[in-house]
Structures are given as structure tokens and as C-alpha cells.
Chain A
Amino acid sequence: MGIKLYREPKFERPIMVVGWPGIGNIGLIAVHTLRGVLVAEEFGEIEPWDFFYPRKVSIKAGLLKDLEFPSNKFYFQRIKNQDLIFFIGEEQPAEGGRMYATGGKAYQMANLVLDVGLKFGCQRVYTSGACVSRIHHEMKPRVVSVASSEKLTEEVKKHENTILMSEMEGGEGEGIITGLNGLLLAVARKRGLESICLMGEIPDWLSGAPFPYPKASKSVLEVFANILQIRIDFSFLDNMAAQIERIIESIYEKFPRDIRERYDQRKFVVQAKPGAITEEDEKWIKEHIDELFKKGGKENGEKPV
């Protein structure tokens, strides 16, 4: 079980930005896009075989050529006076068909990522993910954050369109950030690093959707751009968001009118509690959600991305 570094770049107090798949792939897409925009260069990986079953074998003329595993790669870039280390994991090391990492493997993976950060003098780590909330899908998702210290929460809430988790409508001040996008923050704190999670809002009824939610990824990316004081061309994410929006609209149109009317009240205020949408409405959406996704896809010629 190990880390493989192809080279050892010289870093000066780098910050680390980490992404794994999660709800709507909000964090992963944001981190992946940022890495692409900054043309960060690959410099290492975590060997995958202890964490993952291979997903592909290549056999030619009776010879085993190779096995392909989900990748877990490190990248680096320097912008202005800020050094950056990226880590992007294509899968969370989950067992028994779960989507999110749990237990010993997750803890090992989190520590290996941080081993690399600490080796190069990293003091701060960012992860990103989704915050399931009662917003309307036409609203701009906010970025909800938690951090490892009060000083950091003060810092992070200065960014536009950002709120703290405790400021969320109906927030009870405690909860869990599932999987490695959460666990890494805790392990980082334990090992003396500053850690911040930036979570893009996703409407509750879309949290199980089989497609990404790039609109929230864009919100997260805007915060990263602000933190790093860089300009980013969002056209790629805008195009992707527009495609997804069409799928979502086609599903939304199939809601019964009374549920749609109540749901539309979310446009004016984010609901802290069920409020405008009744518990019966929620039950109806949950019971019909799979069917609605199928219909939405078929009738509009769209496929899950």
C-alpha cells in the first residue's frame, strides 16, 4: 500500500484541494475543472490495488497486458504566489457496493493523501461536496461551509454566495459530511492541518439523481476563484448546466400541478422545514422519482450524463 511520486516539485506553503465523487459529483467536478483550468501537472498517485477491484483487464493474443484501476492522482501548479496540490480520486474505496468510503480503508486513504500534503509542507486542505437543501432548482446554489476552526469560518464566510452550515435555514448546528470528502477534514484536523469543506447546494429531490449537478459545481468554483484570486472561464460548466437543466425541467413538468405550485414557493424563500411542500408532497416525489427520471430521459431524448 503506497504512494508513488514521479517527481518531487519544490513547494512553498502549498494548499491542497481534494475531490472525490459524491452527490451530484458537485465537488469532484469543481476540483476537476479547477485543475484543468490551471493546467496542473500530474506528479504522483496512490497505488490503487489495496483499495479497489480492477475495472478492466486487457488480454491480447493470450497475454495479460494490464489491469485498469480507478485512478488516485496528485497534481501541482503554482499561480501568482500560491502553490497548489490537487488530489483527485475517481472512486471512494467503498466495500459491499456502497458509494461512500467507510472504515479502515477510508481512514488509510485519507492518511495517504495527507502524507503527501505534509511531506511538501501543506498547511491547509480544501475538500468539496454537496449540501442537500430545500432550494428550488432554478435558484443559484449557495456554497455552504464548515471548517476546522472559528478563525477559518470567519475567513470563509467573507466570500460571496457563501454561508456557514450553522446559518442554513433549519440548520441544527450538527450533522455529518459523508464519505472521504468529510473524513479527510477530520483526519487533517487531527494531524494539525487547517481544513475547509465547500459544499454546493443541491435540491433535496435531486440528491439521488443519476446525473451531475454542475450548477452547484460552478458556485463552488466561483468561491475557489475568489480564494485564489483568479479569473475562470465558466462556459464549459454553463453548457453542461444548461443540458442538465433541460432534463430537470422535463421531470419537474411531470409533477402534479398542486405539488409544483407549492414547490415553486421555494423560489421566494428557501424553506427551513417542509412548510410549503407538505410531507405528502415529499412522499409523492420520493415514490415517483425513479419513474419521473425515466420519463424525463426518454421523452426529451436525454440520457443520464
Chain B
Amino acid sequence: MEKSLFEIYQSPKLQSPSLIVGWQTPDIGKLGLRVINFLNEKLEGREVGEIRPSGFFPLAGAAFRDDLIQFPESKFWACEKNDLLLFKSDEPRYDRYKFLNIVLDLAKYNCKVEELYTISGTPSLTAHTTPRRILAVFNQSEFQEKLQGFGLENMTWEGPPAISSFLLWVAKRRGIPGVSLWPEVPFYLAAKEDPQAIKLTLSFLDKKFNLGMDLRGLDLEIRNLNEKIAQLRNGNAEINKYINQLESGLSLNEEDQVKLAKEVYELLQKRC
């Protein structure tokens, strides 16, 4: 490993941890960001290192979102009591194979990581009132068998790969068992937050790693979101019709999808 590409602030005291990876951009339903932040806060994660952005991100200027300057970050936190290593990062733009290998090198050689979990939302043509599922992709059948009974549903798909799939493939080549978790996010919540998908993901991790986390705070967020959308439905017959259709298992054409997504985005964008 080229040492100029990363920095380890302090050696974590971990035994044989699992690595949990969340991508904060792009991030459907803010799932990666919220899950990693929640784990960090509840499990008292300690920042232990970072991958430097040079060579992996365009640094010709500064991006901004919602009036805030953004800077690409790729950081590791150790949750020593629970033997977990967390990694939160923006998706690299250049030299991605090298970047993903550095993630696994640091995890394996500096933190003794044994298993990999990636977290990414997947947009779904379902209503927000429908229970979410977590679709899963494993890189080893033995690991797939090991996680049976946790309510994960097997994904089947062919198409352009996301960075999580690329990481999972790199881990497979290196003999590290891994799973990509793809919680469903109703498409019209994809640009904002989906607390229900966040809670479902955290529930899975809580059960898998016996974390004993209190997730009740998320119920309030779920209730608030549902109430806001219910009010929108009451005042807008067209939006109500679209969501009814989804609740009945019917799909929407592209134009109607765009209208629904736009209305919900504007609703959730409003400041209370």
C-alpha cells in the first residue's frame, strides 16, 4: 500500500470485526449516511483513519449542496465494544479499483476484518405504506447460508454495477466473505430520507450483531413522514390516486412517477 494514500490515526482494539460500509454520495434515501451515523453515535465509534481524496476525487473546486460546501471524505470508525469497523465515504470518481483495495487492505491488515457488509438503498416502485424488504447479494454461498433466518431476500439482477457490487467483487477475489444489503426505498423518497428503510436496516444489524440499540427514535420520524404524505394525499387527489395505485400493486407510467416524486420532494423540502 502506498502510505501517502491513507492515514491511520490510532490502532483500534478489535478482535475479528465485521466491516460495515455506507456510501454518502450517491445515497438513495440517505440510507448509507444515516445508518453509519446512527451506529457511530449509539456504539460510540472512534475515528481511526481515512483514505486521502487526492487521486480518487476531482479536486478542481468545491461542490455544494443545500448551501453547504461539500468535501469528499472516506473515514473509518472503530466500535471497539461491539467489534465493528465502520467506513463512510463518498463514491470515488477515479482509480476505483485501487480505492476499494485500500479499503480492504486497511480493514484486513490494520483491523483484522473478517466479513464485509455494504449498505445501499435501491429505489422501488412501491408505496411508502408498504413494508420494506432488504434485498441481498452475497459473494460466497457459505456466507449466504450463514445469514439465513435474518429476513434477507435474494436479489437477481443484471446491469450496470454500483460501487457496492464492485467492492463485493473485490472482496470475493480476496477471499473475504461479504454481503451487499439493498433495502428498498419507495422511489419518491429516494432523493430525501426513508426512515422506515433506515430502521429496517438498523434492525437487521442490531439482530445480527446483538447491539441492543434503541430504535424507537426512528418511529417518530416514520410517523411524521407518514402524516405529511397523508396530508398531501388529502389535499391532492392526483397524488392520492398515484399512491393508491402503488398500494394496489399497480405500477405508474414514467410521467406519473415524475409528478409524484416531484410533489413529495417539494413537500419534504419545505421547512417546518
Contacts and interface: CB of A to CB of B under 8 A. Distances in A.
A56 to B, nearest CB: 6
B149 interface: no
B96 interface: yes
A293 B98 CA distance: 40
Contacts of B131: none
A49 B169 CA distance: 11
Given A50-B98, A59-B155, A62-B154, A67 B166 contact: yes
A54 interface: yes
Contacts of A62: 136-138, 144, 152-156
B138 A57 contact: no
Interface string A37-79: 0000000000001100111111111111011000000000000
Interface hub of B97, B139, B153, B155 (most chain A Cβ within 10 A): B97
A56 B98 contact: no
B214 interface: no
Contacts, number: 65
A32 to B, nearest CB: 24
Interface stretch (B12-20, B157-165, B187-195, B202-210): B157-165
A91 to B, nearest CB: 14
B93 A64 contact: no
Interface string A81-103: 00000000000000110000000
Contact of A57 (B136, B144, B153, B160): B160
Contact of B161 (A60, A63, A67, A96): A67
Interface in B64-102: 93-94, 96-98
A64 B138 contact: yes
Interface residues of B, number: 28
Given A56-B161, A57-B157, A59-B155, A95 B94 contact: yes
Interface in B164-193: 165-166, 168-169, 172, 180
B141 interface: yes
Interface in A15-54: 49-50, 53-54
B137 A59 contact: yes
B249 interface: no
Contacts of B161: 54-57, 67
A61 B165 CA distance: 15
A24 B45 CA distance: 54
Nearest to B173: A49
B58 interface: yes
B99 to A, nearest CB: 11
A103 to B, nearest CB: 10
Given A59-B137, A62-B154, A63-B137, 20 more contacts: A50-B97, A53-B96, A54-B165, A54-B166, A55-B160, A57-B159, A57-B161, A57-B169, A59-B156, A59-B157, A62-B138, A62-B156, A63-B138, A63-B141, A63-B154, A64-B137, A67-B169, A95-B93, A95-B94, A96-B94
Listed from nearest, the 7 A-B pairs whose CB atoms lie closest are A62-B154, A57-B161, A49-B97, A57-B165, A59-B157, A67-B169, A64-B139
25 contacts: A53-B96, A53-B166, A54-B161, A54-B165, A54-B166, A56-B159, A57-B159, A59-B137, A59-B157, A59-B158, A60-B156, A61-B156, A62-B136, A62-B138, A62-B152, A62-B156, A63-B137, A64-B138, A64-B139, A64-B165, A64-B172, A66-B169, A67-B169, A95-B93, A96-B58
